[in-house]
Structure 1
Amino acid sequence: MMNEYKIGEIADLLAITVRTIRYYEEEGLLRPSRTAGGTRLYTERHLSRLRSILHLAKNGFSLESIHLIASLRETCKTGDESSNKVSAQLETEINEITAKARELERLKDELAQAKWVINKCRGCKNKPTSNGCPDCPVKLHTGNIELLNLIWDQHS
């Protein structure tokens, strides 16, 4: 006999809300069976599928991308067609992740540079404003470290 779970049990197992599960069901990503009384029943397969959905969502995949990945195979007539279409979609996702990783690496470098400049203010007794510290290292580096424009005195 296959294990079956009610929606609340699935929510508890995955530490998510019942509403989240219903949302993915409404979006067509989950199709639980139902009892005669309408109670949703989920299997281990649903649990695994939901874990995959949550993993992708947590890592920034759009609902549209998740839906496409989840449904593309069933739109195909042959394994060959499926292989080609799914592989192409996964390649698109890989390329997007690669571009995002480069972007995040640049942001990480900028954060490190901003931290380095901010640390130069340790021990400073001046007020951290244009008037209070006209030669502040943060102010001096706002032209070459974009993030410092967010940190520096917005009224200057």
Structure 2
Amino acid sequence: MTEYKVKSSNSLVFELTKNEIIIGNLTYKSWFKFSAEFDLSNSKYQIEPKGFWGTTIELKEGEKILLKFRMNWNGDIVIQTYFNETKVGYIFKHRGIFKESFVLTDEAGTELLVMKPDLKWYSMNYGYQITTSDTFDTFIGKDILLMTSLHCANYYMSMMMAGM
């Protein structure tokens, strides 16, 4: 099991750390947009909505599509990765209202990571506590999945804030 923290300096920039060491940064181009980019280990990745309604979101490294995700009819986010030319599916879902968290599971329903939001009411910035499973820690592309999960959690959080 590994612990990560996410801090936001504002609503557009999020920093993922492990043991106080920066793993990556997620930066949104503007508020209310799904377009973003993140940096990991000297690599840049782009997150872009695709299609007429922008319901499918792609994550690319240059022109290469590494994963796609979309919201399911029940509010879960279905993620398809294409690491090493192998297609693997995951589900990202919101859990709870008062003790809310987000969970990433594999296709069999095994929990791979749990994210707990930490809202700073005075600044309206929020961060997350992330705990990953031992299985997740062995994944190729785990840092990309972490950053994608952060993007998915931010999507949910922005939807909840809009409803307030």
What TM-score bracket applies, with the shorter chain setting the length? under 0.3
Q: Which structure has the bigger radius of gyration?
A: 1
- Superposition TM-score, scaled by structure 1 size: 0.23
Which gives a bigger RCO, structure 1 or 2 (Cα 8 Å, sep 6+)? 2
